[in-house]
Amino acid sequence: MMTLFGYWRSSASYRVRIALALKGIDVNHVTVNLRDGLQKDAEHLLRNPQGFVPVLVIEDGTQLTQSMAILDYLDRKFPNPALLPEDPIFRSKLLAASLVIATDIHPIQNLSVLKYIRAEHGQDDGGVKNWAQHWISNGFTALEKTAQQYETPFLMTEVPSLFECCLIPQVYNARRFDVDMDQFPKLSAIDAACQEHSSFIAALPEHQADAP
Amino acid sequence: MMTLFGYWRSSASYRVRIALALKGIDVNHVTVNLRDGLQKDAEHLLRNPQGFVPVLVIEDGTQLTQSMAILDYLDRKFPNPALLPEDPIFRSKLLAASLVIATDIHPIQNLSVLKYIRAEHGQDDGGVKNWAQHWISNGFTALEKTAQQYETPFLMTEVPSLFECCLIPQVYNARRFDVDMDQFPKLSAIDAACQEHSSFIAALPEHQADAP
């Protein structure tokens, strides 16, 4: 059985949990407590020199890092149901929407960046909140325009895809930073549809064994 | 023929230019002058609501955005030579290394983020340089550890892959911010190997028609 080193509140871990649930794959879950900084421990740095979660350890012992690369592995190895379609254009469009979150929102309001702007730029809780809200709203504004072009219950599709694996953890994060989701009605509707879906419910941070 | 809306100095445009050259694909190049802020013009926002370059407009008029999604499209549509291998594990590992750059370095020292820390956090040129150096060095330190495990001229491979499409523009950027590349001997060796490769030479910022 594969082992997922993750953390209940980590967005990137949450993405992988959704994909595993969608594909019906059981894994061992091992927590790496980000609150206690255990991701920077020597033991975890051997798993991932970046000191990030998630890390997926597959049956042969290979340690896979970077959530989007883990999702690519899962989609190749366990293709049903697919996270991305086969058609190169459709696939690229769904991937691009996913990458708005995975490259242009999530890393900029990641824990290590928030720590840096507190320590080096003297930002307080308000400054940190402004920062997170700015980048989340920026990305969501662009995604909302894209989403408005489609009538489907999920982005461009009838079933959840890689995009929803990225969106739902980011919306969870947006709520933590008091982003007004009413600005993004279509993204909110996709989020609401996912909240009723068993795979997304199973992957919820509060439903994990390491949640307080 | 496809059209690439890009900018000579944009890292993400540079990535796509390398991939096109590796695959021997000719495209029309149209410049979107980032220095003059033309990426936020209404005309460009119709191509990409994020207001970023590159945008690849393919023959049927579809506008593809997000460099990593454009590279995925190119690799599916024009599979030879491949940017990523077929084997799910090997592929995931190369993709993960590429994503260290595409998610955890590049977006954090992107133009819009640098503008924000100047305007909102009162950072001067020195503060901006510290910021860029910090995130580049962070990511490169992790990648150097990975790269040290392999004897191949390119990361994990005998020929350039998606990883080098990401690495070379990021090294170019690192030099602009005076990052000491001597800290990263294996990454520097990969960069040097690419600098002698015709596809990488063709894609160089200074060799573009819109370079000053």
pLDDT per position as a tens digit, B23-74: 999 999 999 999 888 998 999 999 999 999 999 999 999 999 999 999 999 9
**What is the Cα–Cα distance from A186 to A86, expressed in whole angstroms?**
25
pLDDT < 70 stretches in chain A: none
Chain B residues in contact with A131 (beta carbon < 8 A): 116, 120
Q: Kindly state whether residues A92 and A195 are assigned to the same domain.
A: yes
* B127 inside 8 A of chain A by CB: yes
**Number of CB atoms found within 10 A of residue B9's CB:** 20
Cα distances (Å, whole numbers) of residue A108 to A132, B105, B113: 8, 10, 9
Q: Is residue A16 part of a domain?
A: yes
Q: Kindly state whether residues A122 and A45 are assigned to the same domain.
A: no
Q: Is residue B209 part of a domain?
A: no
Q: Is residue A206 part of a domain?
A: no
Residue among B49, B106, B142 whose CB faces A49 most closely: B142
Q: Kindly state whether residues B56 and B21 are assigned to the same domain.
A: yes
Q: Kindly state whether residues A103 and A180 are assigned to the same domain.
A: yes
Cα–Cα–Cα angle for B115, B17, B39, rounded to 5 degrees:
35
Tell me whether residues B100 and A70 touch, CB distance under 8 A.
Answer: no
Domain count, chain A: 2
Average pLDDT in the B136-165 region?
97
What is the sign of the dihedral through the CA atoms of A182, B40, B69 and B133?
negative
Q: Is residue A210 part of a domain?
A: no
Band (pLDDT 50/70/90 cuts) for residue B154 is very high
Q: Kindly state whether residues A96 and A41 are assigned to the same domain.
A: no
How far B194 CA sits from the closest chain A CA (Å)?
24
How far A16 CA sits from the closest chain B CA (Å)?
14
Average pLDDT in the B124-149 region?
98
Task: Please count the residue pairs, one from chain A and one from chain B, whose beta carbons lie less than 8 angstroms apart.
Answer: 133
Band (pLDDT 50/70/90 cuts) for residue B189 is very high
Q: Kindly state whether residues A34 and A93 are assigned to the same domain.
A: no
What is the sign of the dihedral through the CA atoms of B31, B36, B37 and B43?
negative
Tell me whether residues B73 and A88 touch, CB distance under 8 A.
Answer: yes
Question: Residue A98 is inside which H or E element, if any?
Answer: helix A88-104
Q: Kindly state whether residues B48 and B76 are assigned to the same domain.
A: yes
Where does a domain end: B81, B116, B143? B81
Q: Kindly state whether residues A152 and A60 are assigned to the same domain.
A: no
Where does a domain end: B49, B81, B113? B81
How far B67 CA sits from the closest chain A CA (Å)?
8
Q: Assign residue B121 the CATH number of its domain.
A: 1.20.1050.10
* B89 inside 8 A of chain A by CB: yes
Tell me whether residues B116 and A100 touch, CB distance under 8 A.
Answer: no
Domain that holds residue A57: 3-81
> How far out from the chain centre does Cα B94 lie?
15
**What is the Cα–Cα distance from A163 to A144, expressed in whole angstroms?**
13
Which chain A residue has the Cα nearest residue B45? A142
Q: Is residue B206 part of a domain?
A: no
Chain A residues in contact with B139 (beta carbon < 8 A): 50
Q: Kindly state whether residues B54 and B109 are assigned to the same domain.
A: no
**What is the Cα–Cα distance from B41 to B36, expressed in whole angstroms?**
10
Q: In what order do the strands lie in the sheet with B3-6?
A: B28-31, B3-6, B55-57, B63-64
Q: Kindly state whether residues B97 and B188 are assigned to the same domain.
A: yes
Q: Kindly state whether residues A105 and A188 are assigned to the same domain.
A: yes
Average pLDDT in the B83-88 region?
97
pLDDT in tens, B86-122: 999 999 999 999 999 999 999 999 999 999 999 999 9
Band (pLDDT 50/70/90 cuts) for residue B5 is very high
Tell me whether residues A69 and B95 touch, CB distance under 8 A.
Answer: yes
> Residues B76, A88: contact at Cβ < 8 Å?
yes
Q: Kindly state whether residues B108 and B62 are assigned to the same domain.
A: no
Does the predicted model carry a pTM greater than 0.90?
yes
Cα distances (Å, whole numbers) of residue A31 to A8, A208, B125: 8, 10, 40
Q: Assign residue B18 the CATH number of its domain.
A: 3.40.30.10
Chain B residues in contact with A50 (beta carbon < 8 A): 100, 104, 139, 142
Where does a domain end: B66, B81, B96? B81
> 3-state class of B63 per DSSP?
strand
Q: Is residue B132 part of a domain?
A: yes
